[in-house]
Structure formats: C-alpha cells, structure tokens
Structure 1
Amino acid sequence: MRTWPFALLLAACTACGVGPTGVIDAGEPARGFIQGTRLYFVQDDRLVSVSRPEGPLEAAEAVELLAGGPTSKESERSFVTRLSKNMAVRVNDDGFALDKSVSMLVGGRWLPPVSRLSRMATGQLVCTIAAATAAKRGVDVDDVRVTVPDQGQVRCEDFK
C-alpha cells in the first residue's frame, strides 16, 4: 500500500501558507434591531439612545415617555432631558408641533407656553419620533424625515 498520496494530501491541507495572527479589534458587535422603544436623552452634551422595554410604540406614545424624563436608573447614568416641563407637543404622522396656546399652572403661578425649543430638545423629539416611526416601518432611523416647526423636514442624524 502506498502512503505517499496520503502524505501529499496531508501536506497540501496543512501547509496553506497563512501564519497565525494576534487578536484583531473589529469594533462594536452587531446589535440588530433593539427591542422596545428608543428614546433620546442627553448625556455629556450629546444625544444618546436609551431603550425602554415598552413597545414598540406609536410616535406620540414614545414622546409621552420622553416627556416624562429619564428614569432614576437613567439619571444615575447622567441622562438628562432638555425638554421643558411646561411644553405641550402634538405629534402627527410625520412630525410635531408645539401647542403655543397652552399655559400651565406650576407652583401656584402660570407659566407661559413654550414657543421655541433648544437645538438639543428639538433633537430629542426628532430622534425619538424617527426611532418610533422607523420601528413601525422596519427602516433605519436616519431614513425617516420628521417635520419640525419653522425648520421643515430633518433627520435624526442632523442632530448628532
């Protein structure tokens, strides 16, 4: 019995010429779709997505959660909101509007309605609405355009 064909086959299979390498860092692992609802809060002066187990929700429901502010655990991680406590927001299919006619009684005095939002607060609303809409449509957040009063249509990435 000849053993040389087997030795040749074994040598061909083991001698491919590729040497061993060290560990190669490839970045963050793939996460896929995040379950629940994504809300956008502020951490270190930038927008950060936070996943909540509720959902998926309609955009208006997600904005209601956002308006409630960060949970105690989120606050411990330095998440804050730039949304005013006295604002009234109406969310529609493709955007939002501030209800400028609503005043609120807070601490025994009437606060005027919010007519303008800071850029960061606008980003919180845009990204939260875009995330809820994207989850509903099965598309990427940055593929969704949100109509902002006095600004037209914007995307979440415009605020990052």
Structure 2
Amino acid sequence: MTPARAALTCCVLALAATGCGIRPTGVTDGGTAPSGISQGMRIYFASDRGPRGVARPDRTIDQLDDVFKLLFSGPSPAERDEGLTNVLPEVGYRATAHRGHVTVTAPRFGFTSPQDQGTGQLVCTLARAEVLLHGTRPDKVQVTIVGERGRAGPYQCQQFLAP
C-alpha cells in the first residue's frame, strides 16, 4: 500500500469512528400524550365536506348566547380561503341548557333539511359551548332547535361531522 493510500485510509477510518458528532443522551420524557377534546372555544363553519370546527382559543364565553356573536363574525380571511363560510341567517337566536340538553330558539329559522350545514353549525358550536360552560361530556350534549316550522332534534354534533 502506498503511503498516500494508507494516509487516506486512516483518515476515512478516523472519520467513520467519530460518527456524526452527536453524542448519545439518556431517555427524555416528552410528557403525557394529548387526550380528550382540545381546549378553548371552537366554532363551526360550513365547508364542502360538512361543518368544520375552527379554534378560537383567545375567545371566552360566559353564556350560550355568546356563541352567536362568534358565529356571525364569520370565518377569518385565511379560513375563507380554505373554503369555510357561515350559512346561518341572523334571525335572533337564544339558547338555554339544562343538564346537557340545549334548546335553541330561532323563531324565523327555517330548516332546509335535518342534516343541513346551518343546523350542523348551530348544533356543533352550541355543543362545544355547553362542554366548556357546564362540563358536560361531548358525547352527552343534545341540541334541539325550535324554529318557524316547529322543533327539530335532539341532535348531537357527531351526526354532522364527516368521518
């Protein structure tokens, strides 16, 4: 072996022995895995795949009726760019709750069908608010809507969400 080749081989072996330069560490704890529902308020807007929730972590609500102001403020410009829209008419909604049963009164609200996106927006947004305000389990919240054509529901949010 020539001296130049021997020197090159030594250099390659030395580099291989040093590895990438990152020293091993012990096991680190990443904390517990996320579980349950996300924190903070979520409101739901219509999309091409059905109602879709968007986070409003900086918004707090003190009563169920507060969600209507959030809904009617509409999606942000970025959310509109993603195809989200509010399809609910502003007709003077009021909401009350008793043990996870939410009743929405909207005298001039007309349902186009029991599964329309406007109904989904109401049901899912109010269900989320009920969870935050009263600690009801999300799968236990039921929403009934009283409109100009009578009563509809009770509904649960998962009925409106795409799998």
Q: Shared fold (TM-score greater than 0.5)?
A: yes
Contact kept, 8 Å, 2:103 with 2:144, in 1: the verdict is: yes
Equivalences for residues 1-160 of structure 1 within 5 A: 30=34, 32-52=36-56, 53-84=58-89, 86-93=90-97, 94-100=102-108, 114-116=109-111, 119-149=116-146, 150-160=151-161
Q: Which runs of 5+ in 2 are unaligned?
A: 1-32
Q: Give the direction of change, closer, same or farther, for the CA distance of 1:55–1:33 in structure 2 (3 Å limit).
A: farther
Structure 2 SS opposite 1:46: coil
Structure 2 SS opposite 1:59: coil
Query: Pairwise CA RMSD of aligned residues?
Result: 2.2
Contact kept, 8 Å, 1:95 with 1:129, in 2: the verdict is: no
Query: Which one-letter code corresponds to 1:96 in the other structure?
Result: V
Q: Give the direction of change, closer, same or farther, for the CA distance of 1:57–1:35 in structure 2 (3 Å limit).
A: farther
Q: Give the direction of change, closer, same or farther, for the CA distance of 1:45–1:88 in structure 2 (3 Å limit).
A: farther
Distance 1:126 1:87 in 2: 16
Structure 1 SS opposite 2:120: helix
Distance 1:134 1:43 in 2: 23
Query: Which one-letter code corresponds to 2:39 in the other structure?
Result: Q
- Render the CA deviation track for 1:17-76: whole Å, top value 9, x for unaligned: xxxxxxxxxxxx735443331101122231111111201442210122112211222212
TM-score where L is the length of structure 1: 0.63
Corresponding residue pairs, total = 118
Distance 1:140 1:47 in 2: 20
Distance 1:89 1:97 in 2: 6
Structure 1 SS opposite 2:75: coil
Distance 2:133 2:41 in 1: 11
TM-score where L is the length of structure 2: 0.62
Q: Give the direction of change, closer, same or farther, for the CA distance of 1:40–1:57 in structure 2 (3 Å limit).
A: farther
